[in-house]
Structure 1
Amino acid sequence: MADVTQDRRRIADTTAGILLEIGAILANTDEPFTFTSGSRSPVYVDIRKLIGYPRARAKIMDMAVEVIGQEIGYESIDAIAGGETAGIPFAAWIAERMGLPMVYVRKKPKGFGRMAQIEGELREGQRVLLVEDLASEGGSKIAFCNALRQAGAVVGHTFVVFHYGIFPESIDRLREMGVRLHGLATWADAIDTAEKRGYFPPPVAADVRRFLDDPRGWAASRGL
């Protein structure tokens, strides 16, 4: 168990370090970012930047397959599904490494042709791993998992490169529908790595930690 824990820490630190190096992890305590839900945050993560860094994305995808094998099992997955749009390239790279078929899930059925929401060949009863770039408040994962299940897939796991890890309800909502969330790194990992390697000035790092400890309280204290 100690070896597995140490290995996961290595993966988390390496992932956070790569994302910080390419500018995919950002902090701005003076002008907070706005989430899709409308909530405000001094931190933002843009995993899509990995697309432009072949060596960085290859390293992270290798670690992704390693974690999937450890936590889910290679023979427990029949197909990989990417969530529109940011999850699609990561799903493709993971599917290629694992030698598995891939589909992708639209946010809603397209309004023409077959009116499909699932693109690709999905067979009834296939065990499907949903892949997205990141998880914050968890809403898109629920919608994509429901769409896959309605199409006949068995969905018990979803994987992301980065999980904010500060909204417990996101994990709880997935767990309630029988889905386990897996990821390479969280904001707890990112802030430790950022401080250790000097990516954030001390005052910014301290304010980010205050946000991570109490996101809604941080926003309320600023009238956001």
Structure 2
Amino acid sequence: MTTDIAYEIAATLLEAGALLIRPREPFIFASGLRSPIYCDNRMLLGDVAARRIVTRGFAAQCADAQVVAGPATGGIAWAAWVAEALSIPMAYVRSGAKGHGRGRQVEGATVRDRRVALLEDTVSTGESALQAADALRAEGALVTHCVCIFTWGWADTEARFAAAHLHLVPLATLPAVLDVAQRTGRLTPEARALVESWAANPRAWMPPEA
């Protein structure tokens, strides 16, 4: 991923309102973790211009793929748009095997012995993407990389992907987002330092006193 593309995607996320930075009023993740920054890439679904930019970014990373696949639910729309852009088949991966009918976990295109690019919206711990990769590999797919719109860049997450032999390719990184946010006046140097301290150790991070 080139710096120019990472900055373009970062700017797109900020302008679409998909990334919010609020160090003094932290967000609460489902895990209970407090965060000064929040990423909601579902906002991109309703922004045609933004999703076209992101789709082009994804497509550029999938040039050698024979199939694109997305985990339910966040990766499904992106897999569909990228498959259409590249004129290749698409699959999606359920969180578990279907309890009736054909009982499948991987739906759509046949993935056996095919190079499959796994697409995800946001990667935090990476659990859903790693489970999807396991399911695809169980079907005989050749899955070597996962492309996501954004990731926090946590060391634990990177270690999990490395252990799974799955290369994580983010379209935008936290440093790129912070650079663009600061350059465009959305973020002060002090607020940036707070976000960076959170990213280095999110579990121990404490919001500043009001």
Same fold, TM-score > 0.5, yes or no: yes
Residue 19 (1) aligns with residue 19 (2): no
Distance in structure 1 (CA, Å) of the matches to 2:161 and 2:196? 25
What's 1:4 paired with?
none
What's 1:149 paired with?
137
What's 1:118 paired with?
106
1:111-190 equivalences under 5 Å are 111-165=99-153, 167-190=154-177
SS for the counterpart of 1:216 is: coil
Distance in structure 2 (CA, Å) of the matches to 1:122 and 1:38? 38
What's 2:43 paired with?
49
Identity of aligned residues (%): 38
Give deviations 1:167-189, integer Å, cap 9, x for gaps: 11212111112110111111111
What's 1:3 paired with?
none
Gaps of 5+ in 1: 1-6
* TM-score computed with the length of structure 1 as normaliser: 0.86
What's 1:94 paired with?
82
Residue 64 (1) aligns with residue 52 (2): no
Distance in structure 1 (CA, Å) of the matches to 2:138 and 2:126? 19
Distance in structure 2 (CA, Å) of the matches to 1:114 and 1:175? 33
Distance in structure 2 (CA, Å) of the matches to 1:53 and 1:110? 32
Q: Calculate the aligned-residue CA RMSD, in Å.
A: 1.9
The answer to whether the 8 A contact 2:118-2:133 is kept is: yes
SS for the counterpart of 1:148 is: helix
Q: How many residues align?
A: 208
The answer to whether the 8 A contact 2:67-2:109 is kept is: no
Give deviations 1:2-32, integer Å, cap 9, x for gaps: xxxxx71111111111111111101222332
SS for the counterpart of 1:155 is: coil
What's 2:32 paired with?
38
Gaps of 5+ in 2: none
Per-residue deviation, 1:35: 2.8
Distance in structure 2 (CA, Å) of the matches to 1:64 and 1:127? 15
Indicate the structure whose relative CO is greater, using CA pairs within 8 Å and at least 6 residues apart.
Answer: 2
Give deviations 1:47-87, integer Å, cap 9, x for gaps: 11111111111122112222x15xxxx23x21000110011
Per-residue deviation, 1:202: 4.8
* TM-score computed with the length of structure 2 as normaliser: 0.91
Worse overlay, 17-26 or 193-202: 193-202
Q: Larger % of helix: which?
A: 1
Distance in structure 1 (CA, Å) of the matches to 2:36 and 2:138? 37
Distance in structure 1 (CA, Å) of the matches to 2:197 and 2:163? 29
